[in-house]
Amino acid sequence: MLGIGKEAIIFLYAGLSGIVILFSYQILRLLRRLIPHHIVIVNLEDLLYWLGVSAYLFRQMYKTTYGSIRWFFILGVVCGILLANFILSISKKISGKIKKSLEKKKKNR
C-alpha cells in the first residue's frame, strides 16, 4: 500500500502528464492550421496521436504505480489537462488585450 506522500508525488507526475498531453495536441492543432490537411489525414493523425497518448500514459502509469490503475493518477491527468487548458485560455486573453493596445498605440501615432 502506498503512503499519502507517495500518492501526492504520483498525482503531480500525472498532472504533468496531462499537461504534456494537452500541449502536444495543441502543437498538432497548430500544424493543422499552418498546413491544411485532408480529412482522411486528420483522422489518421488523430488515431496515431491517441495511440501515442495511450502508450505514453501506460508507460507513466507503469513507472509510477507499477501498472496499477489508481484513481489519483487518473484524477491527476484530468487536473493537469484542465490546468493547462485554463493557462492557455488566460494567455490567449492576455495576448489579445496586448495586441489591441498595441494596435491602438500604432493608430494614434
Nearest CA among 69, 65, 76 for reference residue 20: 76
| Residue 59 exposed, middle or buried by CB count within 10 Å (0-12, 13-18, 19+) | exposed
Tell me how crowded residue 56 is: count the other CB atoms within 10 A of its CB: 14
Mean pLDDT of 86-101: 94
Beta-carbon contacts of 31 under 8 Å, excluding residues fewer than 6 positions away, are none
Q: What is the pTM of this model?
A: 0.82
Residue 97's pLDDT band (boundaries 50, 70, 90)? very high
Residues 26/34, Cβ–Cβ less than 8 Å: no
Mean pLDDT of 5-27: 94
Which tens digit of pLDDT belongs to each residue from 37-56? 899 999 999 999 999 999 99
How far apart, in Å, are the Cα atoms of 60 and each of 10, 21, 38, 74?
A: 10, 12, 33, 11
Residue 1: per-residue pLDDT: 66
